[in-house]
Amino acid sequence: MRAVDLIEKKRNKEELSKEEISFLLNEYLKGNVPDYQMSAFLMATYFNDMTAGELLEFTTIMRDSGDIVKFDDVDKFLVDKHSTGGVGDKVTVVLAPILSALGMGTTKLSGKGLGHTGGTIDKFESIEGFRFSNTREEVVSIANKTGIGLMGYSDKIVPLDKKLYSLRDVTGTVPSIPLIASSIMSKKLAIQSDIIILDVKVGDGAFMKDINQAKELAKRMIEIGSGRQVKAVLSNMDEPLGYAIGNANEIVEAIETLKGNGPEDLNEVVYTIALLSLKAKGEIKDLSEGKKKIDEVINNGSALEKLSQFITESGGNGNLVNDYSLLPQPKEVMEVLSAKEGYVSKIKAEEIGKAAMIIGAGRATKEDLIDHAVGIKILKKVGDKVNKNEKIAEIYYNDSKNVEDSKNMLLDAYVIQEEKVEKQKAILEIIE
């Protein structure tokens, strides 16, 4: 078999056999197919898509390129919630303790932020002493004590995705539905869980800019996972989730949500995913039934206690859930005032994510170091009325180098119009 023949087949919209896909991917992993040939194949895929059969085979070979992690020794109903990446997305930090307080467990891989999107690892690493587990044994030990099993990505799990993603990143082939679907699902299928819930973000700050694309991505990921229980929610990313964008400040917002003071949109996403989990576990028949159970673990403090335990077990000081001064603090605050009066119709989430990145809250490249103390707080959401010169955001920073640019990006991100605007729903669709 020759790689060039397989590239030509994909270019000509012919279907590749299982053997052909296996040859291409396995030889690429071994270094026998060079990057330039794989790049051509990825670009041909970008334009010509994959059939369902090709996609399943592609994903299976990616999954099997590394370790498969089993959690048979965690005696809980296990939920793996995955977000396709957003701005202000601290859902895992809130959801995992809630699921734990409800008697379930979380087992999932968590990532670092890149570009305008944040990552769960970075948010938790704002906590002094916190160490992300990298081995199965550590994750099992913490998950058995706290119900929360978050594991950092390692080179041993789906190494093929790492290699392919780096290539896609520099060849303009990231935003391809089959390539995103196989990349995400190969990692989901490499980790044992009882249900996979995909939070597919839609809008300005997401890979999927419109709802039809997002539906297609969700549908194809569910198809790939047909041997497992997979559900999806489509959630709005035409504004950041919640008010805090950064790292330490997102931990504070997550804690406040566990104390019952959460922003409406963050609550909506967290509750919906928790309800889907309760239903999958068989505790409720209909999504309308379980809200009280979730309210209870928030109101009685048990979900917050789970987060505190998880922080302590991971090497941090769990008391910080009641003492935010234990988190890194920024030195300076800059206020951002609205340039005009009207109603907020959109907050370009990607622009907000970049405004946070350039002051140090995120990374432009994988090698960049981040400053966990800095970030942005937006004070107005879509649908809110603003007056001219009213404060719409605050920038928390340590280094003033890019702060003016950050402010201008924030001003540009706020789209304000004269006519009244409806508040947006956070959950656009549930695909069960």
Q: What residues act catalytically?
A: 82, 161, 168, 183, 187
| Contact criterion met (CB below 8 Å) for 177 and 195 | no
Least separation, in Å, of the C-beta of 207 and ligand URA?
6
Out of 158, 184, 258, 270, the residue judged to bind ligand URA by CB under 6 A: 184
Rg (CA), the chain: 22
Question: What is the SS3 assignment for 245?
Answer: strand
Binding to ligand URA by CB under 6 A, coded x per residue (else -) over 128-167, reads ----------------------------------------
Span near ligand URA by CB under 6 A; candidates 44-52, 177-185, 279-287, 423-431: 177-185
Q: How far apart are CA 221 and CA 431, in angstroms?
A: 11
If the CB atoms of residues 221 and 336 are measured against ligand URA, the closer one turns out to be: 221
356: left (phi over 0), alpha (psi -120 to 50) or beta: alpha
Least separation, in Å, of the C-beta of 82 and ligand URA?
8
End-to-end Cα, the chain, rounded Å: 41
Out of 180, 349, 395, 426, the residue judged to bind ligand URA by CB under 6 A: 180
Q: Tell me how long the chain is.
A: 432
| Contact criterion met (CB below 8 Å) for 212 and 282 | no
Least separation, in Å, of the C-beta of 316 and ligand URA?
26
Does the protein bind ligand URA through residue 85 (CB under 6 A)? yes
| Contact criterion met (CB below 8 Å) for 363 and 380 | no
If the CB atoms of residues 117 and 133 are measured against ligand URA, the closer one turns out to be: 117
Span near ligand URA by CB under 6 A; candidates 61-69, 179-187, 255-263, 354-362: 179-187
Span near ligand URA by CB under 6 A; candidates 94-102, 146-154, 174-182, 417-425: 174-182
If the CB atoms of residues 109 and 359 are measured against ligand URA, the closer one turns out to be: 109
Least separation, in Å, of the C-beta of 84 and ligand URA?
6
Q: How far apart are CA 355 and CA 206, in angstroms?
A: 16
Span near ligand URA by CB under 6 A; candidates 66-74, 176-184, 211-219, 412-420: 176-184
Does the protein bind ligand URA through residue 267 (CB under 6 A)? no
Does the protein bind ligand URA through residue 178 (CB under 6 A)? no
CA–CA distance from 144 to each of 104, 302, 308 (Å)?
11, 16, 15
Residue nearest to ligand URA (CB): 183
Q: How far apart are CA 254 and CA 270, in angstroms?
A: 11
| DSSP assigned state of 208 | B
If the CB atoms of residues 233 and 297 are measured against ligand URA, the closer one turns out to be: 233
Least separation, in Å, of the C-beta of 285 and ligand URA?
33
Joined together, the tokens standing for residue 69 give: 């992690």
Least separation, in Å, of the C-beta of 181 and ligand URA?
8
| Contact criterion met (CB below 8 Å) for 323 and 333 | no
Least separation, in Å, of the C-beta of 186 and ligand URA?
9
Query: For residue 333, how many C-alpha atoms fall within 13 Å in the half-sphere facing its CB?
Result: 10
Q: How far apart are CA 46 and CA 122, in angstroms?
A: 31
**φ/ψ (deg, to 5) at 26:** -65, -40
Out of 59, 60, 65, 84, the residue judged to bind ligand URA by CB under 6 A: 84
**φ/ψ (deg, to 5) at 246:** 155, -135
How many chain residues touch ligand URA (CB under 6 A)? 8
Q: How far apart are CA 27 and CA 24, in angstroms?
A: 5
Does the protein bind ligand URA through residue 185 (CB under 6 A)? no
Span near ligand URA by CB under 6 A; candidates 73-81, 175-183, 257-265, 372-380: 175-183
If the CB atoms of residues 188 and 279 are measured against ligand URA, the closer one turns out to be: 188
- Write out the binding residues for ligand URA, residues 204-233 only, by CB under 6 A: 207
Does the protein bind ligand URA through residue 183 (CB under 6 A)? yes
| Contact criterion met (CB below 8 Å) for 217 and 326 | no
Joined together, the tokens standing for residue 98 give: 């809630």
Number of H helices, E strands in the chain: 16, 13
Which residues contact ligand URA (rule: CB under 6 A)? 84-85, 174, 179-180, 183-184, 207
